[in-house]
Amino acid sequence: MLQALMNMISLCWKPFGGQDGGERFDSVSVIGSHSGGGGIEAIAAETEGVVTTDTIQRAFRETEEGFTALVSRLWSTRPSIATVGSCCLVGVIFQRTLFIANLGDSRVVLGKKVGNTGGIAAIQLSTEHNANIEAVRQELKELHPNDPQIVVLKHGVWRVKGIIQVSRSIGDVYLKYSQYNREPINEKFRLPEPMNMPILTAVPTIISHQLHRDDSFLIFASDGLWEHLTNEKAVDIVHSHPQAGSAKRLVKAALQEAARKREMRYSDLCKIDKKVRRHFHDDITVIVLFLNHDLISRGFVRDH
């Protein structure tokens, strides 16, 4: 059930060496409606022709359950998989409605035309789950009122249990089930006290947005981009250049800013070995989706 959407959720997982938890993933998946037998129409066929927030919630839940089952099977031979986790950002366009579902701190920003002036506005559509956001810290404190260490400030960064920045993810079962928060996983991931309830959840925040003719494009990106570019800057870069190569252009702009902050040249940053690149900038995943409303009406979307 819902296999098509579940496959799209997991399609773009990309591993990178993490300092927050164990092996980390940033997942940014975009689903555009199209003709043929796959994609959104396959999902609709499996759900009696309708895509709703419930459909997407169920797909996330079943994806999480599938990964948890994998951890259970591999626990005796590969226990470190319990510390593997993923942020996940998904966009679904169905019958001119855009659904955005997010776990973690990836983000989607809409570029919207402003009147007839040729201007463009940046509108953030997603909600992030990062402990550096006051509302997220408050939510965690309300869920865990008897745990004064539920969020800890370390080196100027707020972390859940002093370990991980995100409060929601797929995986990271070592912070969801007590049977995986013990030896033989690395000591830095083990809690000093018993875990009586899950610390993290895999419940996405989902919003729906009715597409309008003024909606020009969408930028889906992991937090590595947003650490260096504001919403407005990213939208301006896309709006001010040809559509082709938009995602690469955003990645380059973010890397140039990362190099500037380090007082080094962009060319030198690009030469750094990938194994140590994380010390200079986070991984960056970007998809730019251009909205041709005539094509959307017929079931096609373009991405760059």
- Chain mean pLDDT for the chain: 84
What is the pLDDT at residue 27? 52
pLDDT at 216: 96
What lies within 8 Å, CB to CB, of 148 at 6+ separation is none
The pLDDT confidence band at residue 261, using thresholds 50, 70 and 90, is: confident
State the fold for domain 3-303: Phosphatase 2c; domain 1 (3.60.40)
The candidate with the shortest Cα–Cα distance to 5, out of 134, 125, 92, 135, is 92
Give the count of alpha carbons within 13 A of 136, CB side only. 24
> What's the pLDDT at 23?
60
Confidence of residue 12 (pLDDT cuts 50, 70, 90): very low
Encode pLDDT of 192-223 as tens digits: 999 999 999 999 999 999 999 999 999 999 99
Q: Residue 110 pLDDT more than 80?
A: yes
pLDDT at 130 over 70: yes
Sorting pLDDT into bands at 50, 70 and 90, what band is 176?
very high
C-alpha radius of gyration, the chain, whole number: 20
Which tens digits make up the pLDDT trace of 20-76?
445 655 555 454 333 333 444 444 455 555 788 998 999 999 999 999 999 999 999
* Inter-residue contact 285 to 13 (CB < 8 Å): no
Picking from 39-43, 97-101, 244-248, which range would have the lowest pLDDT averaged per residue?
Answer: 39-43
Q: Write down the pLDDT at residue 16.
A: 33
pTM equals 0.83
